[in-house]
Amino acid sequence: MYKMQENIFKGEMESSRKICPLDKMNVKDRRILYELSKNGRFSISTIAKQIGVSRDIVSYRLNNMIKNRLVPGFTLFVNTNRLGLIKHIIYIKLQHTGKEENQLINKFIQEEDVVWVATCSGNWDLGIIILSRDLDHFNKTFNKVINICGNNLREYTVETEIEDKFIGLRFLVDGIKTKEETKKYLKDGFIKELKNPSPTDDPKIDSTDIKLINLLMKNSRMPLADICTNLHLSAPSVENRIKKLIKEEIIYGFMTQISFQILGLQWHWILLRTKNLTEEREKELKIYLEKHAYITWLVKTIGRWNFQLSVFAKDALHFREILSDLRKEFSDVIADYDSIMIFNQHKYMHSINL
C-alpha cells in the first residue's frame, strides 16, 4: 500500500533532487507514472494488471517515487468555471529577484484566492493565478497582489482563462509499447463516469461537496474510508457525490503531480496570439496539440495572448524544434508568440472557497 500523509501536498514540485533522465528511467516506473497520469485514483491492482507485474512491485516502486519526491502528491482537475469561478493568469516582472522574490512567493502562497504560484524565466519572473467569484472579488485580490509586490513590481500582464484542458503525458512512454485498456480497467477510478459526463445547465452543489473537493485536492488517492470519516458520511453517499461531481464536469480528472525537473525535463509555456483563426483552423490546432506527446496542457485565454501551451522538453534544442514545428504548421494563424520556462511550482490549488 502506498504511503502519503494527507497534508503533505500543497502543489509544490521538487527541484533540488538528483536528476534521473527520463530515457534512463526504469521502464516499469515510466509505465506506472503513465497509468497514474491518466487517473490518479487507479488502484495498485489495476496498474499492476495493466503493465503485467505484481501488486507488490507497483506498491514498492510507487512508494519509492513518493519518498524521493518524484511524485510529491495527488490532486484534482477541477473545472472552476462550472462552480461559477473565474481564473485570471498574471505574469509579473520584478525589479529585484533573489531574497526579495522568495519573500513575495511566500506571501502569495498564503493568499487563499491565489491558487497557482510559479517561478519563471524569460520576460517574466513569476506566474500566479487568481480565482475569483466576480470582477469585484478579482479586483480586491489583484490589489493585494500589487501591494505585496510594492516597489519591486516592474511590469505585469493579465489574462482571463476561458478554457483549460489537460492533454496528457504520453511522453512518459514515448518509444515504449503499452497495452490496450481492458473493460475491467475502465471500471476503476471512476473512469467510466469520467469518459461519459452528462452535465446539467445548473449543477446543484452544497457545502459538503466543496469539503469533498478540498479533501480530494489535498490527496485525490485518499481512501474512501478516510473520506467518509472526514465528512461523516457513508461510503455509498461519498461515492455518489464523487460521481455527481464528475457527471457535472466539476471534477474532470484525478491528477498525479510529478516533479519533472528530477527527470531532467524543462517545463515551458508557449504563449500564442492568433489572427484570422476560423473554427475549422482552431479545431485543427487542437487536434495537432492532442497528438503531440510533449505538449501537455492547453489554456485558452482572453487578453494579450489567446492560447497558452504547457510543454515538457528534453533540452533547449528539443524545445526549439517543438516551437519551430508549431509555428511552421500554423504560420497562417500565429500572429505573435512568446515563451517562458517554469523553474518551479510552489502552489497549486490548496482549496476552493465559494
* CATH code for residues 80-161: 3.30.70.920
Write down the architecture of domain 22-74+177-257 according to CATH.
Answer: Orthogonal Bundle (1.10)
pTM for this structure?
0.91
Helical spans, DSSP H, in the chain? 27-38, 44-51, 55-67, 99-110, 135-149, 191-195, 207-218, 224-231, 235-247, 279-291, 316-329
| pLDDT reading at 126 higher than 50 | yes
Q: Which three cell numbers stand for residue 9?
A: 501536498
- What pLDDT is attached to residue 10? 63
The residue type found at 48 is A
pLDDT band per the 50, 70, 90 thresholds, residue 4:
very low
pLDDT band per the 50, 70, 90 thresholds, residue 13:
confident
Give the whole-angstrom CA distance, residue 280 versus residue 269. Answer: 24
Do 250 and 256 form a contact (C-beta atoms < 8 A)? no
3 state SS of 283: helix
- What pLDDT is attached to residue 349? 81
Domain spans, the chain: 22-74+177-257, 80-161, 165-171+265-344
Do 343 and 121 form a contact (C-beta atoms < 8 A)? yes
* CATH code for residues 165-171+265-344: 3.30.70.920
CATH fold match for the domains 22-74+177-257 and 80-161: no
Give the whole-angstrom CA distance, residue 139 versus residue 151. Answer: 19
More confident residue, 179 or 252: 252
Which residues are CB-neighbours of 303 under 8 A, at least 6 positions away? 157, 158, 159, 160
CA 215 from chain centre, in angstroms, equals 17
Using alpha carbons, select from 199, 208, 219 the residue that is nearest to residue 82.
199
Tens digits of residue pLDDT in 22-76: 989 999 999 999 999 999 999 999 999 999 999 999 999 999 999 988 999 999 9
Q: Which three cell numbers stand for residue 102?
A: 522568495
Of how many residues is the chain composed? 354
Tens digits of residue pLDDT in 284-339: 999 999 999 999 999 999 999 999 999 999 999 999 999 999 999 999 999 999 99
